[in-house]
Structure 1
């Protein structure tokens, strides 16, 4: 054992604070990114929020002194849009993932989205603004308003207020009555009596402690809570299984009355508080647009309206640096300039990375856009990362909370990543999502005399070249909330 000095040469990745922040920017959603940029603008005096100018005069007048984030019409996005029209870049022809090219319109009527009403063009007289506003009143506020009108004493109002606060957004009371009584120093019977008054509030069924109690409250108001209906409500597990014989025996009614009772039960709301939102709803805005071109190809472009515009005021920077300053002030201004430059470049790189990943996803899943979900190919992060020469973790961050607006609807980028199901005979693998879709289609076409078991579905899929096990079929069926073949047979025969 002795001490010695050795020299070694090696490579390592040093995660600087700026690099860590750049990585963080990738996984931020649009709203989170906007909040982050606004915080940076407040902190950094050299940053300004870029504003739209329809004439463009203001931007041209300041172009010599300001460096604008290259994501608007005059900068990087314009270059990116130019690339969209160049074949072989971000414009893809359906079928290019296979050996043959297929026109997009060959699969039937076009599923292209209608954006003609967006941004104007429609008649303002036909638009009801108030009808498109969501209620700002929460369920708790609605219940407290009714409490103010209830004939209760001051002590009982305090109990009722506590019970309302213990009610969740769906309308169910999640607190234990005895615990509330102990916490407030009241009798359990008194708390129960106050709860009975609160359960008479609107919406009907609110502040119930279970689904049977919630449905019972609604049936009592309708005058339909007779012994037979009470027995059905207390045996909802048989209703879920569609066990008509078992329900008929418990309720003491014939099949015709039982079906009428089940029809009445379906008219009730198991979540009476669902019409009241605790928080204002946040609309999902797409990060990327995919549009179908007249020649059957697809173009991918960023949603420029959704990206924050940031300006570095170089004129102000030059004015400040020309003034006499102490050393700390010089360091502060230098740090602000470096931070502003870094933010602009990072936002530009983030946008380009999103566009690059989204373009590769469209290229890989072109059959889906042309023909639908049944043609969704198996795809994982590694395939996209290898194709665009990036790391898997980068692709994972880019696809988090990012959405793509397509002619077939709005999708999260992660939707297009699906596990592969092997094909029989060594053919091309099938997407798990496409297999799920095929299973659902087979079950939707069932008749009372031809209900498919999981084994029969396996045989049919094998005929289509899908190598799948019975337990996998059962797992996919359950993920689609489809009951077993026995339960489906009961439902079909009852509705026949």
Structure 2
């Protein structure tokens, strides 16, 4: 067979992941805080982008509304992302909008006095202690090693070697610091923290010391072994257990550790006048940017084609247009997925978690004509405000547990809620075993295996029936006395 070169045409299709497509996919799964930070970086990097004016700040009134052109938005229920031909934007950057709840009414936390921190509280007490110069340096180092719960994070030997003092001095200073308030601070372990609190109450007897030395047995509820080790009867052990439960294992956590980040819902769901549900995007989670068309036109007219400056300008315009379209598409997709979730989980919104419907990503994806991976990205780190509270969108997707009568399946979250309710309503003489829970659920039409009940119970940190019976009887006897 002769070998030779020849020209052949072939037509084929392939999917190419361009950098912009990859960026669009990443934008889809970003939570609103990260999204605002990303957009702010783009605004700083791209001279054709600027912040959009916010409603009510008066900035939008200074622009000529007749020359504003809007990029097609997601409709009346979702804010559109506009492209403005004039420069200038709202007063205030996107960074100032991260976590901001609006200009109306203000944030009361911003006007309140800052709560005293654990460090400040202890430093004020240390300043009143009669420490020598070297001891005060050691005390400052120990104070700096405290974690948020009030535990010492430095080893005495390491601290002594670093400061050039003896370990005996470090231990002596630490012992004096352990007398400060709140009781239990400067402890090196949980047992020592509880011991310090009990010693302050004059309740650290030998039996209590033995109990604190065997906290692992207490965690396993091995009361028989604890009675044997401590040399006490069941009534005394119940009292000792109650005393330990009244202590604070994290004495430093009661002080201000900084404001915890609040969850800002991406979607708001409210009852509609026609009996349905009104689903809309939260405008606070949607960054709005403007494309300065006039600035682009002026610079483009002054810069000839083919030069490096014109190439940079065209690239900025392309990136700005892509960003506005990506943000608009992201808003549309989130709204479409949220509406379908609300439609499918209508009974949950009306009657609670007992009516949560089993749902998977494929059901929603097929209903809205999207891929499962897209729905998965949309529901990641997104939250929905409903009349029943704020829920992550992932919460509404649960596996289905079959019905014993062959009807519609039951949501796993509904079954967990039912197990939690049954164990919470138990009496000391009516503790339900896993088999009894299975029989009760099957009588209610839920076909579930015993191992599934045990798995759900352990995931919710509900002890076994033997442990629950022992605890409930002990608490009942303690209440009678």
- Structure 1 window deviating more from structure 2 (367-376 vs 314-323): it is 314-323
Shift of 1:406: 0.4
Task: Please tell me whether the aligned partners of residues 66 and 311 of structure 1 are also in contact (alpha carbons under 8 angstroms).
Answer: no
Cα 1:441/1:145, change in 2 over 3 Å: same
- Taking the aligned partners of 1:135 and 1:3, their CA distance within structure 2 comes to 84
Written as runs of structure 1 = structure 2, the 5 A alignment for 1:169-248 is: 169-242=148-221, 246-248=225-227
Task: Please tell me whether the aligned partners of residues 53 and 59 of structure 2 are also in contact (alpha carbons under 8 angstroms).
Answer: no
The reply to whether residue 420 of structure 1 matches residue 422 of structure 2 is no
User: Paired residue for 2:339?
Assistant: 359
Shift of 1:43: 1.4
User: Paired residue for 2:76?
Assistant: 78
Residue aligned with 2:280, SS:
strand
User: Paired residue for 1:385?
Assistant: 365
Shift of 1:216: 0.9
The reply to whether residue 49 of structure 1 matches residue 30 of structure 2 is no
User: Paired residue for 1:374?
Assistant: 354
Unaligned runs of 5+ in 2: 81-100, 477-481
Residue aligned with 2:415, SS:
helix
Cα 1:452/1:142, change in 2 over 3 Å: same
- Structure 1 window deviating more from structure 2 (373-382 vs 165-174): it is 165-174
2:380 to 387, 400, 404: 400
- Structure 1 window deviating more from structure 2 (463-472 vs 196-205): it is 196-205
TM-score normalised to the size of structure 1? 0.81
The reply to whether residue 275 of structure 1 matches residue 254 of structure 2 is yes
1:424-483: CA deviation from partner (whole Å, max 9, x where unpaired): 354322211111111112212222222111112122222223222212111110111111
User: Paired residue for 1:27?
Assistant: 29
The reply to whether residue 13 of structure 1 matches residue 11 of structure 2 is no
User: Paired residue for 1:104?
Assistant: none
- Taking the aligned partners of 1:67 and 1:281, their CA distance within structure 2 comes to 40
Residue aligned with 2:251, SS:
coil
User: Paired residue for 1:340?
Assistant: 320
Cα 1:205/1:17, change in 2 over 3 Å: same
Task: Please tell me whether the aligned partners of residues 28 and 401 of structure 1 are also in contact (alpha carbons under 8 angstroms).
Answer: yes
The root-mean-square deviation of aligned C-alpha atoms, in Å, is 3.3
Shift of 1:412: 0.8
TM-score normalised to the size of structure 2? 0.83
User: Paired residue for 1:86?
Assistant: none
- Taking the aligned partners of 1:267 and 1:426, their CA distance within structure 2 comes to 49
User: Paired residue for 2:428?
Assistant: 448
2:302 to 323, 330, 342: 323
Shift of 1:398: 1.1
1:372-418: CA deviation from partner (whole Å, max 9, x where unpaired): 11221222222222221212221121111111000110111111111
Cα 1:128/1:312, change in 2 over 3 Å: closer
- Taking the aligned partners of 2:345 and 2:67, their CA distance within structure 1 comes to 44
Task: Please tell me whether the aligned partners of residues 428 and 472 of structure 2 are also in contact (alpha carbons under 8 angstroms).
Answer: yes
Task: Please tell me whether the aligned partners of residues 77 and 280 of structure 2 are also in contact (alpha carbons under 8 angstroms).
Answer: no
User: Paired residue for 1:495?
Assistant: 475
Task: Please tell me whether the aligned partners of residues 238 and 247 of structure 1 are also in contact (alpha carbons under 8 angstroms).
Answer: yes
Residue aligned with 1:197, SS:
helix
Q: Between Structure 1 and Structure 2, how many residues are aligned?
A: 453
Cα 1:132/1:221, change in 2 over 3 Å: farther
Task: Please tell me whether the aligned partners of residues 30 and 381 of structure 2 are also in contact (alpha carbons under 8 angstroms).
Answer: yes
- Taking the aligned partners of 1:12 and 1:163, their CA distance within structure 2 comes to 63
User: Paired residue for 2:330?
Assistant: 350
Task: Please tell me whether the aligned partners of residues 358 and 399 of structure 2 are also in contact (alpha carbons under 8 angstroms).
Answer: yes
* 4+ runs deviating over 6 angstroms: 1-6, 118-121
User: Paired residue for 2:445?
Assistant: 465
- Structure 1 window deviating more from structure 2 (317-326 vs 412-421): it is 317-326
Task: Please tell me whether the aligned partners of residues 74 and 331 of structure 2 are also in contact (alpha carbons under 8 angstroms).
Answer: no
- Taking the aligned partners of 1:63 and 1:3, their CA distance within structure 2 comes to 68
Shift of 1:303: 0.6
Cα 1:62/1:465, change in 2 over 3 Å: same
Shift of 1:487: 1.0
Cα 1:158/1:408, change in 2 over 3 Å: same
- Taking the aligned partners of 1:27 and 1:198, their CA distance within structure 2 comes to 48
1:434 to 398, 406, 414: 414
- Structure 1 window deviating more from structure 2 (133-142 vs 373-382): it is 133-142
Task: Please tell me whether the aligned partners of residues 78 and 331 of structure 2 are also in contact (alpha carbons under 8 angstroms).
Answer: no
The reply to whether residue 314 of structure 1 matches residue 316 of structure 2 is no
Residue aligned with 2:249, SS:
coil
Shift of 1:288: 0.2
2:456 to 470, 476, 494: 476
Task: Please tell me whether the aligned partners of residues 69 and 347 of structure 1 are also in contact (alpha carbons under 8 angstroms).
Answer: no
**Which of structures 1 and 2 has the larger relative contact order (alpha carbons within 8 angstroms, sep 6+)?**
1
